[in-house]
Amino acid sequence: MDVLILEPEFMVDFNGSIQQGPIIIENGRIVKDHPKHNGTTIRLHNQVILPGFVNCHSHAFQRGLRGLVEQKTDRIDSFFTWRERMYQLIESMSITDFSLLARLVYLEMLEAGFTHVGEFHYVHHDLKGARFKDPLAMSRALCDAASEVGINLVLLECAYNRANFDEPLLARQQRFGHPHVDDFVSLVKQAHRELENDHVKVGAAIHSVRAVPEAWLSPINEFVTHNAMPLHIHASEQEQDVADCLRHTGLSPIGLIHRNHLLAPHTTLVHTTHLINDDLEAIKESSPSICICPSTEKNLGDGVVKLLDLYRLGINICLGTDQHVRLDPFCEARSLEEQERLRLKKRTILGKPDAFLHQTLLNCLNTSGMRSLYPTFVPSRINQPANLIAVTLPPEYQWHGPQVALDAMMLSHTPAQITHVITNGHIVVHDSESQLAEKQYLINQLKKFFKN
């Protein structure tokens, strides 16, 4: 029997409580005890074990844009000019390059402490926009990449049908679209049947109410509800999205989603930067999760989400790295609090009275993220698959004990302080030679794509 015993200074569980004692992993799961305690023991001196971080919003291929879209031009640069560059990137990306980038970015995520990722996947077709013989070819590339590096993937197959409310797909969006909702639902069904395994689960996404007709919303929601799947939707990221939706439907994107009964605990709204009118009331009534992507939202100049208003509703707030402008869960999490301090000109904003900052921020990084990607998830310490990270404690642990040390960690740590990453009971990251070689191989292979 495969037994791994971890002996950190202490562990933080999914509820944010500090636990003492060894962590025993048997056949990939955390167990209460093991009669003989024989197995491999790893003493984690000056380290804490945390539940693995959850990256709820990823477009793996957009990792290829990093550094390419930062040059100042004489035009007004915005989300929309960035989006043109993103279309250009995918226009020439073969399935092989797509797969190599996915492997690289999933490996980088693991190194950063993410043990789970939700891949919001809308590139379904070949370079000319024609269907692959295997309609799941691109999806399979993502699932294989995740399984090869050892990250847990929730593949969110994404519906996309048009450029805007009254505009058909543009030539450069042909790789994304499905003509009918039935085609799209069949794709999700097939993915559910063929791609799920220990590492991979399937859910669905609606790109946005701009890109998907209102008549599609209910059939997609019925399918995901029936199959207990998560449903993710980009919502109200840009003021333009809200204005277009108001003009065509008389409702905000969130109002339109609500009218079709899609707001529910299995649904995650991504961004929600520009809320208007009754949006908060609709969210309060139906408790969806909200996924914030601070680094991407800053990079794209989206605007600042009024997080405190959402936080007060008691809903799940989770995090994503979206276009992967950086992969640093500590930075994403602390940005939630820091952005609110700048916006409101106050301190210690999120969290309950007397709570430590880390309790709020770690909850966004793990428990809320798990609820967003796995709607039936129940937090518990025992009998969960062992998805854990070991992090070196800052000197504050010696000076002030665990609570202050964890707050200091959230303020100042980077992924460099993560020493071990464990998914489903296997150590997948600990600075090994083979891991460095794998990264170098992927970087070399991708040179050909970027040089063309």
In the complex, which residues of this chain contact Zn ion (CB under 5 A)? 322
Task: Collect all residues with Cβ–Cβ distance below 8 Å to 158 and sequence separation of at least 6.
Answer: 120, 121, 122, 176, 204, 205, 206, 207
Give the count of alpha carbons within 13 A of 45, CB side only.
0
- Provide, rounded to whole angstroms, the least separation between the CB of residue 52 and Zn ion: 22
Residue found under tokens 């909200």: 290
- Provide, rounded to whole angstroms, the least separation between the CB of residue 119 and Zn ion: 10
Three-state DSSP state, 246: helix
- Provide, rounded to whole angstroms, the least separation between the CB of residue 404 and Zn ion: 35
Nearer to Zn ion, 322 or 328 (CB): 322
Pull the structure tokens for residue 187: 């794709």
Give the count of alpha carbons within 13 A of 225, CB side only.
11
Output the CA torsion sign for 269, 273, 275, 281: positive
H or E element, residue 233: strand 231-235
- Provide, rounded to whole angstroms, the least separation between the CB of residue 275 and Zn ion: 18
- Provide, rounded to whole angstroms, the least separation between the CB of residue 228 and Zn ion: 23
Nearer to Zn ion, 61 or 330 (CB): 61
CA proximity to 109, closest of 421, 363, 444, 388: 421
Nearer to Zn ion, 272 or 387 (CB): 272
Give the count of alpha carbons within 13 A of 426, CB side only.
11
SS3 content of the chain, % helix, strand, coil (to 5): 40, 20, 40
Nearer to Zn ion, 13 or 322 (CB): 322
As a whole number of angstroms, the distance between CA 261 and CA 374 comes to 20
Nearer to Zn ion, 23 or 65 (CB): 65
- Provide, rounded to whole angstroms, the least separation between the CB of residue 62 and Zn ion: 8
As a whole number of angstroms, the distance between CA 64 and CA 60 comes to 8
**In this chain, which residue has its C-beta nearest to Zn ion?**
322
Nearer to Zn ion, 60 or 427 (CB): 60
Pairing of strands 418-423, 388-392: antiparallel
Nearer to Zn ion, 119 or 322 (CB): 322
- Provide, rounded to whole angstroms, the least separation between the CB of residue 87 and Zn ion: 14
Nearer to Zn ion, 293 or 390 (CB): 293
Contact (CB, 8 A) for 351 and 403: no
- Provide, rounded to whole angstroms, the least separation between the CB of residue 238 and Zn ion: 12
* 42 phi and psi angles, rounded to 5 deg: -120, 115
Q: How many CB atoms lie within 10 A of CB 262?
A: 24
- Provide, rounded to whole angstroms, the least separation between the CB of residue 59 and Zn ion: 6
DSSP lists the bridge partners of residue 53 as 114
Nearer to Zn ion, 62 or 221 (CB): 62
